[in-house]
Structure formats: structure tokens, C-alpha cells
Amino acid sequence: MTRKLCLSARTLLVPVSVALSPFAFVTSAAAQSALAAPAAGQAETIVITATRTPTRASRVGSSVTVIDTPAIARAQSIPVIDLLRDVPGVAFSRTGGVGSLTTVRIRGAESDQTVLLIDGVKLNDPSGPGGGFNFANLLVGNLERIEVLRGPQSTLYGSQAMGGVVQIITRSGDVPFGASVTLEGGDLNTKRARGSVRGQFGDLSYVLAAGQFETDGVSSAKAGKERDGYKNTLAQSRLDYAFNDHLSLEARVFWSDSEVGIDGFPAPSFVLADTLERSKTEELIVYTGANLTLLDGRSRTRFGISETQTDRTNLNPTLAVQNTFVGNGTNRRAEFQSSLDVTPQFQIVGGGEFEQSRLRTASPSVSNPNPNPLRAKSELSALYLQGQASPASWLTATLGVRWTDHDSFGEALNTRATLAASLNQGNTIVRAALADGFKSPTPFQLFSNFGNAKLQPEEASSVEIGVEQAWFSRRLIGSITYFQRDTVNQIDFVSCFGNTAAICVGRPSGTYDNIARTKADGTEFTLEAKPTPQLSLSAGFATLDARNKVRGTANFNRLLPRRAKETGFTTIGYVFDFGLDVSATYSRIGDSFNNASNTVVIKGYDLVTLRASQKVNAQWTVFARVENAGDEIYETITGYGSPRRQTLVGLRATF
């Protein structure tokens, strides 16, 4: 069976010569901000977009936001989710404080429809029902930059990229020698230490980094009194070896081990309350690859093999059988990609992938302390091809196609097209994208006790158009983007309690089916200003209308849960002549609903973050910040608590 599906534009942005605003820390290539905009006389930012070939930002038709190295340092954030919070179109939900289950949604898509990449390696958890990634344990460490692509991105990213892609890019060892150490601490007995070394020995470059973070946290249950602490230990390494100007090898390892307290629904009331339960997670990514460059750099080919493993264990010391859940998800991938600059005006990129996902889960209990574990796997292979053409100096178009073969649902075809028109000497840029996307059923949805082997992939189609305008030699830049996405065949859980439908025969506990349909549309605004070399301003505002479109059901046309209709932020910063760097960010999240029937409201909230840093000398910097300075009491999920005001101070050294 052949079904029409999605497409993607993998985007890696590489600044060549960039004028950086000292305080505003979101850069957009779809709405190119003052942070990344070149000043008069400087070269334009080079972006590797849908074709993965160097392209000027004015020729990019995709919506992408970049958070670069200075911005990451300036923000002082510990969890990556704090950096993503003010990206237009991005929203998150968390079951408590830092370290609790954290899901990310882009443009109103489901959290399982967001792809996370670390240095190009896809990271998900096949043992989870939806196969999505838990952002809880993703902490800011040895990061070079973060890129967020909005809209369906399946042509180059494959399954899951229906909402968008978040990519974490780590630092390389492209210096003779470098080292850094950061120490910080503050309220809630929060402590953090991290360090890294990187450099080169002849043709070998290396990066070694490690860190540990712990906090007493807050009660996951908002009404609870017991704090649910969190501890995370991580390490990563990267080796690159160049045999000659044409061939190089690389290897990367990322490891994280964490434990967090969680609350549950204990008897006899079965309402959310304090428990002594803990959740342990260990994540491992291993990647090896080879890179071949030919034809004076016009041909670039990469071969890679990767494996990701996620091990999860839930423990409750108050129960006779303490292990209440054990899960293992493994994803293995082999891939190749080749790009060719046919002419200066035409480039192509193509490649192939093979992916195998495995899960093993068990839920021991007093009545069955050693249950037979659920074991399942799925496989898919794919080929993709995409071209980029510039028929005129002011016009760039891309067109891509992907073929996927899944061992359960069969074949799929996805497409994507983008257009960028640079007008008015580059001060006006019009961008447009048309795409479809897909997400294959997970092994759990197909083969578990709730599984349905007849599931088809979820499908989405999307359109977006945007305009960017620059004034005053790019000291003021504004943008607006409109998007619309329709999703069909969305997989949802079917409760079979008292349900006599045919699908429930033999499945008394329920099952999964392709029954959901949704529609989302919205706008994203950004504004960046740099009136003086010391002063910078930035603002963003997004609207979203995401609704249930399953006719004949009680929730038809109701808003989807946990999607605020309005979100926004404003940042102002100033750098004093003596080196003091201060900034403040105000973030606004509007009201939303916690449930599909729209009967439980999650009240909107306002967060203020204050930051300051002072360079003592060329190596040492002292910094401090106040998170939730207004001491706001808020929820991202009804019933779950969130951190109140926190003050943290730290010391950073770079050599």
C-alpha cells in the first residue's frame, strides 16, 4: 500500500560573519533577527538548510530558530527546556520541577510528533507508548547551538517530524586546546558542576565533557508537602580524525544517568498526592561515521551507524514489589547522505536510512512479581532526494521527496517544497513552505497488550508563508509568519470498558486506533532591535488555534489540551562599559485547557527572569540570576507543581 506522507528540511545553521546582540538570545533564519543579521559591510549568515548545503539566509524558505553559543552562555539556563520556552511556536508541559517528565510541542502538534537530534543522531524512546523523547534529562552542557525547525520536516528527518525538529549541536575540538569549568548553586539546595576539555593532537581532535546537577526540587503534586528531588550525571565525548583532505572519521558518545522523585495516585483516595516513588533513567547514544569530500569540496558524502538506548525503572519502596515498571528502548540506525554542487545555482542532496526499534517492558506487581516482559520491534528503510535551485539572484526554490518502507504499514511517500524571495536589496524577504508529514506507529502501539497491528501512520499536511522586513541597516528587524496544519489518521487510545465495538473484541483493557483528526493554524511574530551597541531589545508573540476535527464526537471543534492560544516574550539587555552584562526576560503563557472536553482550565501565567554577569578577567566570569522573580504560582499540567522564585549564583572559567 502506498500512502502520501510528510517531508522535512534538515537545517544546520553555520554563522560565517555575524553581528551578535549581547542580550536577546533567539536568532531566527525564517525571521532573521538582529542577533544573526550581518551589519552593514559584513558577509551574510550562511545557512545549511533543506539541502544541507551552504545557503545564504536570505535564500532560506523554512522556519528555523537558532540559539547560539553566546546566547546559551548569556541565558545561564540549566535545563534545555528553559532555552526553548521563548522560541515562537514552542510549548512544553512538565509534571513538577526540573527533572520531571517534560514534553515539547511545536505549533500545537503532539509531543510525540517532535524529533530530537543530538549532532544529527535521532533520539527517541521506543519503549514509550508514543515513542517520543522526554526532555527532562536534557541539560545545558557542552553545547555549540540549538536549532528549532517548525513545521513538518519528514523528507530528511523521517517519522515523527510532523510538528518540527529540535537539534542539539555540541562543540567540536577545533582549537589547539580549550577548557572550561562552571560551578553554581542556590535555592532548593541546588548544586551544579560541569567541565570540559577540547583540542587537537595532529590530525586528531577531541572533546571530553562531564557534569552533575542536583536539587531538592519541589513537590510534583501541587498539593503535596514532600519535595521530589532530582539528580543527573552526564558525560560526553567526541573524536574526529582526518586521514587527509578527503577522508575523516568521527565517533561520539553521550551518556546520562538520572533519578527523580515522582508523585502518584495512592489508595484509598486515588488522587494525585505525595508518594515515595522514584524514577531512574539511563540514556546512551553511540555514533560512528566516515566523511568523504571530493571534487574540490563540491561533493560531500557521510556514512554513519548509531545506537540509542533508554533504560527506565520506577521504584516504590512502600510496596512489597518495589519495581513497578522496567522498560528498555533501543534504536539502531545506519544511514548515508551525499550532496553535490552541480553548479553554483543548483545543488542536490540524497541519502538512505535503515532503522530498527526495539522495546522491552514489564510491570511487576504483588500478584505477578515476575511477569513475562513485552518484547516488540519494528523496522523501516527510506530513501530521499532533494534539490535546491536559484534561477535568479533573488529567488531560491527547494523540492524534496522521501520514500519509506515500514515492515508493518507498508510504503509511504512524502514531499516538501520551499520558496524564498529576497527583495528590496535584501531588506524584504518573503518565505513560503508546503509540506506533508508522517509518524509511523510505535512498537508499543502495534504489538503490546493494547496493540493494533492494523494501525496506519499518522499524516499531516502543512502550509506556511512569512515576511521579514529590515530597517535602519538591519538595526531593526521584524517578521510575521502564518501557518496551517491538518492532521489525519492520528493514533488515539480507545477505552474498551463497557465498549461493544468490534475493535474491542478480545481487548477488554482498550487498544489504539487511527481515529483522531486535528487542525491547527496560527501566527508567529518577532521583533529585534539594537538601538545602540550597548542596548538590545527583542520580542516575540505567537497565536495558536488547535482543534479536534473528529465530526460526530462530543469534543468536535474543541481546543486541544495544553495548547495556549497566545504566548509571548520580551527581553531587554544592556552591557556597561566596565563589562557588566544585565538582562531581563518577561514571558507570558496564556490560558489553556487540561482536558479534551475543555472543562478544566489551566490558568495563564507570567514569568520574569533576571540575569547579570561580570567578567573578572579574560578567563573568569561571575554570574547570577533570579528565576520566576515574581514568585508566580503556576501549572503546566493541572495538579502538578512548579518551582517558585529561585536565586542562583555561579562562577565560570574558560582557558
Asked whether residue 28 carries a pLDDT value surpassing 70, the answer given is no
What Rg do the C-alpha atoms of the chain give, in angstroms? 24
> Is the peptide bond preceding residue 391 cis, with omega within 30 degrees of 0?
no
pLDDT given for residue 45 in this prediction: 66
pLDDT given for residue 266 in this prediction: 87
Asked whether residue 39 carries a pLDDT value surpassing 80, the answer given is no
Residues linked to residue 381 through DSSP beta bridges, in sequence order: 354, 405
Q: What is the DSSP letter of 162?
A: T
* Three cell numbers written together for 621: 566570569
CA–CA dist 553, 511 (Å, integer): 18
Is residue 341 a contact partner of residue 347, using CB atoms and an 8 Å limit?
yes
> Any long-range contacts for 396-399 (C-beta under 8 Å, 24+ apart)?
396/55, 396/59, 396/60, 396/61, 396/420, 397/61, 398/9, 398/49, 398/50, 398/51, 398/61
- Cα of first residue to Cα of last residue in the chain, in angstroms, is 58
pLDDT given for residue 609 in this prediction: 97
Task: State mean pLDDT over 565-589.
Answer: 95
Q: Of 346, 310, 295, 292, which Cα lies nearest the Cα of 118?
A: 310
pLDDT given for residue 144 in this prediction: 86
Task: State mean pLDDT over 138-143.
Answer: 89
Q: What is the mean pLDDT of the chain?
A: 88
- Dihedral, 172, 337, 462, 517 alpha carbons, nearest 10: -100
Confidence band for 47, pLDDT divided at 50, 70 and 90: low
CA–CA dist 483, 362 (Å, integer): 41
Domain boundaries, the chain: 2-654
How many angstroms from the chain centroid is the CA of residue 91? 10
Q: What is the DSSP letter of 270?
A: T
Within 10 angstroms of residue 618's Cβ, the number of other Cβ atoms is 8
User: Whole-model pTM?
Assistant: 0.90
Asked whether residue 27 carries a pLDDT value surpassing 50, the answer given is no
- pLDDT single digits (tens) 408-439: 888 889 999 999 999 998 899 999 999 999 99
Asked whether residue 536 carries a pLDDT value surpassing 60, the answer given is yes
Q: Of 209, 287, 203, 301, which Cα lies nearest the Cα of 250?
A: 287
Task: State mean pLDDT over 58-80.
Answer: 87
- pLDDT single digits (tens) 83-114: 999 999 999 999 999 999 999 999 999 999 99
Burial 302-330 (b: 16+ CB within 10 A, else e): bbbebebbbbbbbbbeeeeeeebbbbbbb
Superfamily grouping for domain 2-654:
TonB-dependent receptor, beta-barrel domain (2.40.170.20)
CA–CA dist 324, 310 (Å, integer): 17
Conformation bin of residue 176: beta by default, left when phi > 0, alpha when psi is -120 to 50: alpha
**Which strand ranges, in their side-by-side order, compose the sheet holding 12-14?**
12-14, 46-48, 54-56
Is residue 11 a contact partner of residue 49, using CB atoms and an 8 Å limit?
yes
Is residue 438 a contact partner of residue 396, using CB atoms and an 8 Å limit?
no
CA–CA dist 7, 155 (Å, integer): 3
Q: What is the DSSP letter of 533?
A: S
Q: Which amino acid is at 426?
A: G
Residues linked to residue 349 through DSSP beta bridges, in sequence order: 339, 386
φ, ψ of residue 587 in degrees (nearest 5): -120, 135
Distances (CA, A) of 291 to 10, 171, 245, 332, 385: 18, 18, 10, 20, 19
Contacts (Cβ under 8 Å, ≥6 apart) of 273: 221, 223, 224, 263, 264, 265, 266
pLDDT given for residue 30 in this prediction: 38
Confidence band for 40, pLDDT divided at 50, 70 and 90: very low
Helix, strand or coil for residue 502? Answer: helix
φ, ψ of residue 194 in degrees (nearest 5): -150, 155
Within 10 angstroms of residue 480's Cβ, the number of other Cβ atoms is 16
* Three cell numbers written together for 218: 519541589
* Three cell numbers written together for 455: 494501525
CA–CA dist 10, 176 (Å, integer): 30
Counting residues of the chain whose pLDDT is more than 70, the rounded percentage is: 92
Confidence band for 587, pLDDT divided at 50, 70 and 90: very high
Confidence band for 591, pLDDT divided at 50, 70 and 90: very high
For the chain, counts of helices (H) and of strands (E)? 4, 36
The lowest-confidence range among 32-41, 61-70, 264-273, 551-560 is 32-41
- pLDDT single digits (tens) 385-414: 999 999 998 999 999 999 999 988 888 899
Within 10 angstroms of residue 463's Cβ, the number of other Cβ atoms is 15
